[in-house]
Amino acid sequence: MEHQEEFDHIFREYYAQLFVFARRFIDDIDDPKSRTILKHTVTMLNELNLDTIVEGVENEKQKNFLLECGCTRAQGYFYYKPMPVQKFEELLDAGK
């Protein structure tokens, strides 16, 4: 089986719509190898029309790098810290 056929088989067999990157993928974005791996992986997933989200965003530098890579979904302390459900509902009601 050719590599392309194997790759196609993976996505047909194990259909995925969303890929979640754990925090460790952005912990070391100052390392050129880490930046390259994340950037090209996000680019590939975008070209395949698959959604991505990165967990553990803690600062503006990480957020900006992800936006440069084309990743528009992220979560982490940079945005909000964990909170009780009631406070989260109030946040949603306030439109923030």
Residue pair 26/56 in contact (Cβ under 8 Å)? The answer is yes
CA distance 94 to 80: 15
CA distance 85 to 28: 31
**55 part of the active site:** yes
Among residues 6, 55, 58, 60, which one is catalytic? Answer: 55
Looking at the annotation, which residues are catalytic? 55
